Amino acid sequence: YAAKQTGEPVRRWTPALDERAGEFVRLGAEIRAALDQDQFRVVYQPIVELPSGRVAAVEALVRWEHPVRGVVSPAAFIPVAERNGLIVELGEWILRTACRRLAEWRAELGDAAPRRVSVNVSARQLARPRFAATVAAALADSGLPPACLAVEVTETAVFEGGQAVIALHELRALGVRIALDDFGTGHSSLGLLQTVPVDILKVDKSFVDQVTEAGRHTVIAEALFQVSSGLGLVAVAEGVETAAQAEALHRLGYRYLQGYHYGRPVADPDFALTSAIAGQSTSAIAG
């Protein structure tokens, strides 16, 4: 009866369902323990600027160094942490770690440090009423200037408007940059650009994969670049794996590229200039 009232379909118990629920609870408890035992790490992937080849920014990506299973990908635990709410605590830890790390690089390297760190924020974090205040506190405690931080959100997280969009306006007012992640794969992509404050469009890897061939993906990659530059946004192409892709994207107008071609996410990236299209670090060429 209660199930009917909430409109939930009545489902019969099955062992498979129970196993999944068990796995969910077990993994959730492990994430809780991992937080307490300091098993999470943040790694950083370069976002390279053309034509200079300098590392203009880095994206912070979380890793779980599991004592038995080794390094666990976020794809395996972020969805669980989102569902059980632990993403709020984990996400704040990631945010604080990333802000502190860039503040350290700035102190150590001066102008050679990346200008910005980009932190992924899940829908559930963004929908919390005090999210912008949490970000302001992380910035204040690390001493990182707000303009040096970008938050990456997906179209899906902001699609419904509401508190998530209010939070983006508050972040903007702080001076934090907003990036739409995996752009082009979620809901209502172009309409969102009229209603949501955005500074950076991260064009999804799926449009980059075949950008060397004349075809639909290339047409879309070019159109997304045109839209973003027409609106005064910065376009970043994600998932660039080859020099040929970098070359093709450069020809379409892209000036910011990210992907294994330039470097995998690591704890301590090399910020030496890369030869922009070829993607090798110049120190590697010299050595």
Q: How far is the CB of 229 from Mg ion (least distance, A)?
A: 19
Using the Cα atoms of residue 75, residue 82, residue 100 and residue 68 in order, give the sign of their dihedral. negative
**146, 116 contact by CB (below 8 A):** no
Residue ranges in 152-171 that form contacts with ligand C2E under rule CB under 6 A = 152
Using CB under 6 A, which of 150, 182, 203, 256 touches ligand C2E?
Answer: 182
Name the binder of 180 from ligand C2E, Mg ion, none, CB < 5-8 A by kind.
Answer: none
Q: How far is the CB of 120 from Mg ion (least distance, A)?
A: 4
Tell me the window of 30-38, 118-126, 171-179, 192-200 that interacts with ligand C2E (CB under 6 A). 118-126
- Beta-carbon count within 10 A of 230 CB: 8
Q: Which residue has the tokens 């306006």?
A: 169
**87, 81 contact by CB (below 8 A):** yes
How many whole angstroms separate alpha carbon 96 and alpha carbon 90?
10
Question: How far apart, in Å, are the Cα atoms of 187 and each of 37, 161, 190?
Answer: 37, 12, 9
Burial class (CB in 10 A: 0-12, 13-18, 19+), 104: middle
Name the binder of 62 from Mg ion, ligand C2E, none, CB < 5-8 A by kind.
Answer: ligand C2E
Residue ranges in 169-208 that form contacts with Mg ion under rule CB under 5 A = 181-182
How many whole angstroms separate alpha carbon 140 and alpha carbon 103?
11
User: Is residue 49 a contact residue for ligand C2E (CB under 6 A)?
Assistant: no
User: Is residue 142 a contact residue for ligand C2E (CB under 6 A)?
Assistant: no
Q: How far is the CB of 223 from ligand C2E (least distance, A)?
A: 20
Helix (H) or strand (E) holding 232: none
Name the binder of 122 from ligand C2E, Mg ion, none, CB < 5-8 A by kind.
Answer: ligand C2E
Using CB under 6 A, which of 31, 94, 135, 221 touches ligand C2E?
Answer: 94
Q: Which residue has the tokens 């990036």?
A: 179
Helix (H) or strand (E) holding 152: strand 149-154
Binding flags for ligand C2E, 183-202, as an x/- string (CB under 6 A): --------------------
> Between 72 and 233, whose beta carbon lies closer to ligand C2E?
72
Residue ranges in 96-135 that form contacts with Mg ion under rule CB under 5 A = 120
Q: Which residue has the tokens 């946004």?
A: 233
Name the binder of 75 from Mg ion, ligand C2E, none, CB < 5-8 A by kind.
Answer: ligand C2E
**Helix or strand or coil: residue 187?**
coil
Q: Is the peptide bond before 197 cis (omega within 30 degrees of 0)?
A: no
Using CB under 6 A, which of 35, 66, 74, 166 touches ligand C2E?
Answer: 74
Tell me the window of 15-23, 103-111, 120-128, 225-233 that interacts with ligand C2E (CB under 6 A). 120-128
**Helix or strand or coil: residue 177?**
strand
Residue 60: strand pairing partners = 44, 119
Residues making contact with ligand C2E (CB under 6 A) = 45, 61-62, 73-75, 78, 91, 94, 120-122, 152, 181-182, 239-241, 259-260, 265
Residues making contact with Mg ion (CB under 5 A) = 120, 152, 181-182, 238
